[in-house]
Structure formats: C-alpha cells, structure tokens
A and B are shown apart, each in its own frame.
Chain A
C-alpha cells in the first residue's frame, strides 16, 4: 500500500507570492490533516478535512487555506507569503473515525520564503 505522497518536496518562493501544496492520502483514508513544523514552534496543527469538509482548524491566519477533493486528495494554499512561513509542511492521513487517530505522515514539503 502506497504511503502519503506530498508534492513538491521543496519550494522556494518570494515574499508576497502564494503557494499551493498537494497531498495524496493513503488509499481508503478519508481524513487529511495539515501541520506546520518549525524549529521554534514545533509541530502545529493547521486544519483537517474529511469528505471534502473542513472539520477542524488550528490557530493560523486566514492566509492559510485548504481544500479536499472527492478522491480525498488535499491541497493547502498560503497567500501573501511572509518570511515566517518558511517551514516544513506535513500532511497526514487517517482512516475513518476520530480525527488524528492512526495518522500517517508524508515526507513533507520544505517551503523557503526569501
């Protein structure tokens, strides 16, 4: 069974630009969560989608948004990029059930904002 796939692996963007990251969950998993990982703040929850609906959201500004498609694939978008958005963005998929249980992570997308 294929794992969680995130693309691209690396991105370099300029301040003010926007970026879209993609996540393909494990086959059969309908819950997709996104996390931001930085050395200073650690792993922080962004949002979670289940059956194309956002079920839960973390404490991030509205510049961070996401969506989920009917095949469970998910995208997250960050608009008006700031230097502080430089981070590893991780996607995790979970089988049906309680949010976050048995969450399997992808390798992440390393975003650098210059």
Chain B
C-alpha cells in the first residue's frame, strides 16, 4: 500500500498563474477529499468525491478553484488564476465508505503564490 500520493510537494508560482495539484488515492478507496490548511483557518474541507462524482463542493472558496476526478485513481485541484491568499498546504485524503471510515492523508502540497 503506497498510501495517498500527492504531487508536487512544493509549488511556487506568481500571482495570476494557473496551478494544478495532483492526487492519487489509495487503490480501492471510493471517497476522495481535498483539504486546505492555513494558520488562520486550520483545516478546511474544499470538496469531496464519491466514486469519482463530486458530492459537496461548498467549501471551494470561489470560481477560481475547480476539482476533477476523471477516474478512480486520479484527481486534480486547479486554481486559475492564483492569488497570494491561496498560499497554503493542500491535502488530499481518501477513505473507504466515507465518514464512517478513516481518512488517509497524503503528505500535502505546499503552495506559495508570490
């Protein structure tokens, strides 16, 4: 079991650029979550998928953020255009059977927007 794999580990970009974060969940897990962690707001759920279908995206801060899950083994979180306030650590997590199960987190992507 390789765990949840996120790439890149670090991303530095300039304001206005497009940023794409990637996630490979644990094989067989049917739920995938994207979280954002900042000092001010802690861990916030952005969006989650069940069987590749977005279930709740109410945490997505604005239209600049979008997420996709084209298949069971891959998801992306895109920010376009990026802004300095998007700087944070973005975590992907997966689980089996949703909230009654345990979330397995990736190591995160640290995004810095200058």
To the question of whether A and B form a pair in one complex, the answer is no
Listed in ascending order, the chain A residues whose CB lies under 8 Å from chain B are: none
Listed in ascending order, the chain B residues whose CB lies under 8 Å from chain A are: none
